[in-house]
Every structure is written in C-alpha cells, then in structure tokens.
Amino acid sequence: MNTRERFQAVMDFRPYDRLPLLEWAVWWDKTIERWREEGLPKRVKHRYDLYRHFGLDMYMQDWINTYKRNCPHPVSHGAGIAADEADYLRIRRHLYPKRVVNHRRWARWTALQAQGEAVLWFTLDGFFWFPRQILGIERHLYAFYDQPELMHRINSDLTEWLLSVIDELCSAYTPDFVTIAEDMSYNHGSMLSKSSFDEFLKPYYAQIVPALHKHGVRVIVDSDGDISQAAHWFEEVGVDGILPLERQAGVDISALRAEHPTMRFVGHFDKMVMNKGEAAMRGEFERLLPAAAGGGFLVSCDHQTPPGVSYQEYLLYLKLFEEYAAEAGRRSQQQRVPTPIAHG
C-alpha cells in the first residue's frame, strides 16, 4: 500500500499492511534544539524534511488563518483582543480574510497525493477555540452566561466564513480530512456543559459538518484533555473522529472504542513514557495494539514530543513504532473487521 491507500484503509476499518508512521503534531522547538545537539543533522530544517529524515509517512497540513495580517495581537497569552460586542465589531474588519487558499502549495501537494505519496489535511478554528482567542480565556468562559448574544454573533460570523473556505478549498482540491481546533477539555473533562455545547456549538457544527461531508472530507475534532464525555456530543453532530486522546488526562482507547465503534481516533501514545526506556515504550504499544488492529485508529504521540526525550530515545521509539505498525497490520488482516462505513 502507498501512504494514501494505507490511510484510507485504516480509516475505513479495512485490513491494511501496516499502521501509518505518523507524527500529527509539529515537534516542540525546544525538542528540535536538543536533538540538534545530539546528532540531528543541521540540514534537516523543515517539518517535511524531518518526516523524510525519520522515515515517517507524509501527512501535509494547512492551518487556515482566520485573521488578516494587520489584526491586533493580545497583550499577553490568553488575554484576547476584544472585551465586548463593541470591541468585536471594531476588530471584525481584521478577521475572516478572503481567498485564503494557497493554490501554489495545494497544487504541489495534490500532485504528491495523486501519486499516493501524501495525505492532505487542513485545520479550521472551531466554535469554542475561536471565541476564546477573541475574548481571552477567562472572559470567554464568563461570556457563555454574561454575553450569549456576542458568542452567537462570533460563531455565526465564523460559520459563514468557514463555509466559504470549505467551498473555496474543497471545490478545487480533495483533502483527506480536516481537523477542527477546539481544545475544550482539560484533565478532568469538558470545560463546558452539554447544555452549553448544545446552545453555543451544536448549531454551527450542524452547518459545517454536512458541508465537509458533501466533499468527502472526514471531520476530526482536535481537543486536548479528557474528551471522553464530549466525544458523545461531537458524534451526535456528525463528527467522524477525535485527536489526540491524551493519556495523562485519563483517556482510554478501549473505552472510547466500546462506546464509539465507528468513530476514528488519532494519537494516544503516552508521550510521558518516551524517555523511560524500551520496556515502557513496548508496554505502551502493547496497550494500543488491539484497538489499532481493529481499524479506525491512527497511533501517534498524544501531543508534541517533549524536550525531555533525547534524540536516541526518539529513534528507539520510531524503531518500535515500525515493529508494532507491522504487527497491527498483520492482525488487521487476520481478524474480522466491520463493513466499511461512509463518512459521517
């Protein structure tokens, strides 16, 4: 199988030759700085150069920018750029740019995709993530109660813009999946209630998910923390999958698979064992192997590889990943798997 065939097979719950060797998140800059001191060649500079250097499958991402170049910046991390509706209306002219697709980039990527050498995906700001960026972390959480009209105004504007982006991109190209940036959970669960989700997020997902499915694009929500409870809410609105399934937040792939037999999952390898030696890493791969063999699950680090992991430890991780990727493929071909299911 080539890179794209392998991705399609796993995500369609069909037998496959091996798991994709996937690093879905860009490495921390401090991690790369450490590795350069420990043997990573200086000529290997960019994300996709690193993929080639490490022998990873080529998954190419375009995060669509919701802001124009002259948009004001928050004064500090998490501070936001607007306090109320009047502020939002003043900065609105700095948001929602037109003609956001880099056609030169996508034409080049599409050529690789057509040869089966790359999987293409793009990322959009979601309906929890984007208002938080606008209002700031603390003010955003209060706004569900204090400024509900503003929350709906922001997400209505965002939806209109997202639909135009989806039309512009997917009418010209065929992305394999999209991730929706949300980060609406922490280590004890969701940062909002089901009723708040239904009021402030669900109506907008109900518009963009069908638009993406119309173009054959799988929809995967990106949320850190314990997403176990909120996974049900996202499945209700037609979302196809979740990443990165952070192990330190208590996420358990076996429980998720039992509760969501047709959802797709990405990540879940506990990054905190990557510097604890071969036995610990093997134990983590063994934990993930049964779910991976069943399909619909792309194993990857459950977030960016931390700088506490040495270059040699990461190379060992990749060696073991190759071994277990092949074993998962072997098991996938031996066991009975579900009938392939349609997107959504």
The pLDDT tens digits for 98-141 are 999 999 999 999 999 999 999 999 999 999 999 999 999 999 99
Does the pLDDT value for residue 175 go beyond 80? yes
Does the pLDDT value for residue 336 go beyond 80? no
Domains and CATH numbers, the chain: 3-334 (3.20.20.210)
Q: Interhelix angle for 202-214 vs 228-236, to 10°?
A: 60
Q: What is the pLDDT of residue 335?
A: 77
CA angle 78, 31, 128 (to 5 degrees): 30
Measuring CA to CA, which residue among 160, 135, 148, 138 is closest to residue 196? 148
Mean pLDDT along residues 244-251: 95
Q: How far apart are CA 140 and CA 147, in angstroms?
A: 9
Q: What is the pLDDT of residue 342?
A: 52
In this structure, what token pair is assigned to residue 55?
């022998």
Does the pLDDT value for residue 341 go beyond 70? no
Does the pLDDT value for residue 235 go beyond 60? yes
The type of residue at 45 is: K
> What percentage of the chain carries pLDDT values higher than 70?
97
Q: How many residues does the chain have?
A: 344
> What percentage of the chain carries pLDDT values higher than 90?
97
Mean pLDDT along residues 283-297: 98
Confidence of residue 312 (pLDDT cuts 50, 70, 90): very high
DSSP lists the bridge partners of residue 40 as: none
Q: How far apart are CA 326 and CA 176, in angstroms?
A: 23
Does the pLDDT value for residue 261 go beyond 50? yes
Q: What is the pLDDT of residue 66?
A: 98
Confidence of residue 255 (pLDDT cuts 50, 70, 90): very high
Does the pLDDT value for residue 217 go beyond 80? yes
Confidence of residue 344 (pLDDT cuts 50, 70, 90): very low
Does the pLDDT value for residue 338 go beyond 90? no
Q: How far apart are CA 8 and CA 121, in angstroms?
A: 13
pLDDT in tens, 49-106: 999 999 999 999 999 999 999 999 999 999 999 999 999 999 999 999 999 999 999 9
Mean pLDDT along residues 13-20: 97
Does the pLDDT value for residue 197 go beyond 50? yes
- The secondary element (H helix, E strand) that includes residue 119 is strand 119-125
Mean pLDDT along residues 300-310: 96
Q: How far apart are CA 266 and CA 23, in angstroms?
A: 10
